[in-house]
Amino acid sequence: MLHIYKDANEVSHQLAEWITSLIERTLQNQDGFTWVLTGGNSPKQLYELLSTSPYRERIQWEKLHFFWGDERAVPFEDSRNNARMTFEALLNKVPVKKEQVHIMQTDLAADAAAFAYEKILHTYFPSGNQTFDLVLNGMGDDAHTLSLFPGSPAIKEQEAWVTSFWLEAQDMYRITLTAPVVNLAKSVVFLTFGANKANALQHVLEGPENIELYPSQLIQPQSGELHWFVDEAAAGGLKDKTSGNQS
Ligand SMILES: O=C1O[C@H](COP(=O)(O)O)[C@@H](O)[C@H](O)[C@H]1O
Please determine, for residue 244, whether its predicted confidence score (pLDDT) is greater than 70.
no
Q: What is the pLDDT of residue 43?
A: 98
Bridge pairing between strands 70-72 and 172-177: antiparallel
Task: Tell which residue, 22, 135, 118, has the closest CA to residue 68.
Answer: 135
Q: Could you tell me what percent of the chain has a pLDDT over 70?
A: 98
Query: Pocket residues for ligand 1 (CB within 6 Å)?
Result: 38-42, 69-70, 82, 138, 140, 147
Please determine, for residue 11, whether its predicted confidence score (pLDDT) is greater than 90.
yes
pLDDT in tens, 165-198: 999 999 999 999 999 999 999 999 999 999 999 9
pLDDT band of residue 240 (cuts 50, 70, 90) is confident
pLDDT in tens, 93-130: 999 999 999 999 999 999 999 999 999 999 999 999 99
| pTM for this entry | 0.98
Q: What is the mean pLDDT of residues 62-81?
A: 98
CB 161 within 8 A of CB 177: yes
Please determine, for residue 200, whether its predicted confidence score (pLDDT) is greater than 60.
yes
CATH of domain 2-175+189-220+232-237: 3.40.50.1360
Mean pLDDT of the chain: 97
Q: Report the C-alpha gap between 133 and 143 in whole angstroms.
A: 24
Please state the domain extents for the chain. 2-175+189-220+232-237
pLDDT band of residue 247 (cuts 50, 70, 90) is very low
Task: Tell which residue, 246, 218, 247, has the closest CA to residue 2.
Answer: 246
Q: What is the pLDDT of residue 199?
A: 98
pLDDT in tens, 133-174: 999 999 999 999 999 999 999 999 999 999 999 999 999 999
Q: Report the C-alpha gap between 108 and 59 in whole angstroms.
A: 33
The interface predicted TM-score of the complex, written ipTM, equals 0.99
Q: Report the C-alpha gap between 76 and 80 in whole angstroms.
A: 8
Protein residue whose Cα sits closest to atom 9 of ligand 1: 140
CB 190 within 8 A of CB 229: yes
pLDDT band of residue 33 (cuts 50, 70, 90) is very high
Ligand 1 atom closest to the Cα of residue 138 is 12
CA 146 / ligand 1 centre spacing (Å): 7
Ligand 1 atom closest to the Cα of residue 68 is 14
Q: Cα 44 to the chain's mean position, in Å? A: 13
